[in-house]
């Protein structure tokens, strides 16, 4: 492999790491408000996005559901062919869109607001149409140097994923979800094995004391 190829890869990874650090540095009142809104949601938490943003939105729904919340990914195009009728007052839509101008995502957000739901957006562009349709906007750092050749959605995807992880963990802790539940709902995976091991170590420590 050419040294220049390795250097290019190394520079990209460092830029991606800086993008995630920037997400951590800017957490504040808006993040706390998102956590409160999601944790207190009396209905369904929907996530949406297209392309790589959709992949991260789908992952967020999975993680929230794993932590005991009624969370589902809804593809924005599908939402506009009937399923958005399921939105009810108290539901929350978390929309991921780098530029905030995807027509189907914005229309889904508009329908959610019209039907009494709340909208949270994660975007580079808080001034975008999606930002204007949102109850709370979490701004992702516009780290162009973390994108593949300044264009491909590499660092932006990772930064969005990291922010989603932070939301999930904070909401899980606020709701008091017991990780022991995973031994029932995730019985054959490594996750449940880690929980059991942690519980065994905690029990052994207690007995030694």
pLDDT > 70 fraction of the chain, expressed in percent and rounded: 94
pLDDT digits (tens, 9 = 90+) for 166-206: 999 999 999 998 888 878 877 777 777 877 777 677 666 65
Report the C-alpha gap between 139 and 89 in whole angstroms.
25
Q: Which CATH architecture has domain 3-177?
A: 3-Layer(aba) Sandwich (3.40)
How many residues are recorded in the chain? 209
The C-alpha atoms of residue 78 and residue 196 are separated, in whole angstroms, by: 39
Nearest to 153 by CA among 108, 102, 110: 102
Give CA–CA dist 176/164, Å, rounded.
18
Q: So what's the pLDDT on residue 207?
A: 62
The list of the chain residues with pLDDT below 70 reads 1-2, 199, 202-209
Which pLDDT belongs to residue 194? 79
- Residue 2 confidence (pLDDT): 66
Computed over every residue of the chain, the mean pLDDT equals 92
Predicted TM-score (pTM) of this structure: 0.90
């Amino acid at each position: 492999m050419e040294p220049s190829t390795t250097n290019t890869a190394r520079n990209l990874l460092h830029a991606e790491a800086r993008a995630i650090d920037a997400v951590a540095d800017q957490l504040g009142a808006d993040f706390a408000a998102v956590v409160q809104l999601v944790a207190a949601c009396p209905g369904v938490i929907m996530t949406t996005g297209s392309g790589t943003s959709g992949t991260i939105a789908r992952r967020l729904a999975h993680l929230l559901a794993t932590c005991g919340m009624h969370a589902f990914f809804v593809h924005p195009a599908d939402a506009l062919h009937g399923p958005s009728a399921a939105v009810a007052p108290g539901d929350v839509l978390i929309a991921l869109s780098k530029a905030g101008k995807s027509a189907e995502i914005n229309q889904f957000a508009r329908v959610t607001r019209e039907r009494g739901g709340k909208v949270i957006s994660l975007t580079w562009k808080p001034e975008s149409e999606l930002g204007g349709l949102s109850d709370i906007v979490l701004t992702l750092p516009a780290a162009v140097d973390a994108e593949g050749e300044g264009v491909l959605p590499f660092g932006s995807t990772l930064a969005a994923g990291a922010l989603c992880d932070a939301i999930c963990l904070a909401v899980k802790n606020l709701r008091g979800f017991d990780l022991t539940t995973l031994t029932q709902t995730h019985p054959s995976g490594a996750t449940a094995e880690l929980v059991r091991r942690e519980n065994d170590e905690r029990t052994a420590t207690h007995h030694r004391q």
